[in-house]
Amino acid sequence: MANRQHLPGHPKLTTAFVLCLLLGTSALSHAGDPQEIVKTVCAACHGIDGNSVDPANPKLAGMDQEYLMRQLKAFAAGKRRDETMTGIIAGIDPLDFSRLAAYYGKMTPTPGKVNDAQLATKGKALYDDGNTDSGVPACAGCHQPDGRGNARFPRVAGQHQAYALKQLADYKSGRRATDPLMTTVGKRLTVDEAKALAEYMAGL
């Protein structure tokens, strides 16, 4: 959930983060009016309808609302790290988290695009059956066969390949430690397996 576009001359400052600083805390909190927060803050990265066009930023449309709520709380508590989201979340009233989650959860997700059909085929086998040799479980068991996810696990269907790969890499390195199961899965996946999975999930 982050904007990776850096401002010229300021490699560590992103446009979304600077927007947060300029608007101030009060401007980002519109209790009871999630659409205002979305238009003012979230849409730049995630789109007004939750279907981001930047491959580095996740699609939020159709995500389980409870899952989205938990991620917002994790960012606010520092349990999930991202330099852009850390700055932005500090300016949003926690009372608005549930409203934002409900807003994006009700949006209709757009289909993703498979760039490499052969790679996606390999990803399907891993998604459906896992890898018994390395102990990687079938992704379908948690994220659902159609990739729509649930309250614990996110929707992966149609997700950008670049974003999915980044999250798997963060689980592998330990940078993201919001779910012990995914930390284990991330460490067991090979780089090639992660690429195959990301490719397949994009087309679900």
List of domains in the chain:
6-105 (1.10.760.10), 117-202 (1.10.760.10)
Q: Please report the pLDDT score of residue 31 as a whole number.
A: 55
User: What is the band of 10 on the pLDDT scale with cuts at 50, 70, 90?
Assistant: very low
Q: Please report the pLDDT score of residue 28 as a whole number.
A: 47
Q: Please report the pLDDT score of residue 32 as a whole number.
A: 58
Q: Which residue(s) pair with 192 in the sheet?
A: none
Mean pLDDT for the stretch of residues 32-45: 90
Mean pLDDT for the stretch of residues 120-143: 98
Is residue 144's pLDDT more than 70?
Answer: yes
Q: Please report the pLDDT score of residue 81 as a whole number.
A: 87
Q: Please report the pLDDT score of residue 33 as a whole number.
A: 82
Is residue 23's pLDDT more than 70?
Answer: no
Is residue 162's pLDDT more than 70?
Answer: yes
Q: Please report the pLDDT score of residue 65 as a whole number.
A: 97
How would you write the chain as a 3-class SS string?
CCCCCEECCEEEEEHHHHHHHHHCHHHHCCCCCHHHHHHHHHHHHHCCCCCCCCCCCCCCCCCCHHHHHHHHHHHHHCCCCCHHHHHHHCCCCHHHHHHHHHHHHCCCCCCCCCCCHHHHHHHHHHHHHCECCCCECCCHHHHCCCCCCCCCCCCCCCCCHHHHHHHHHHHHHCCCCCCHHHHHHHHHCCHHHHHHHHHHHHCC
Please classify residue 32 by burial: count the beta carbons closer than 10 Å to its beta carbon, then call 0-12 exposed, 13-18 middle and 19+ buried: exposed
pLDDT tens profile 104-128: 999 999 999 999 999 999 999 999 9
Mean pLDDT for the stretch of residues 80-85: 89
Q: Please report the pLDDT score of residue 46 as a whole number.
A: 97
Is residue 2's pLDDT more than 50?
Answer: no
Mean pLDDT for the stretch of residues 89-106: 95
For residues 41 and 29, the answer to whether their CB atoms sit within 8 Å is no
Quickly tell me which residue has 């700055």 as its tokens.
87
Residue-averaged pLDDT of the chain: 87
Q: Please report the pLDDT score of residue 152 as a whole number.
A: 95
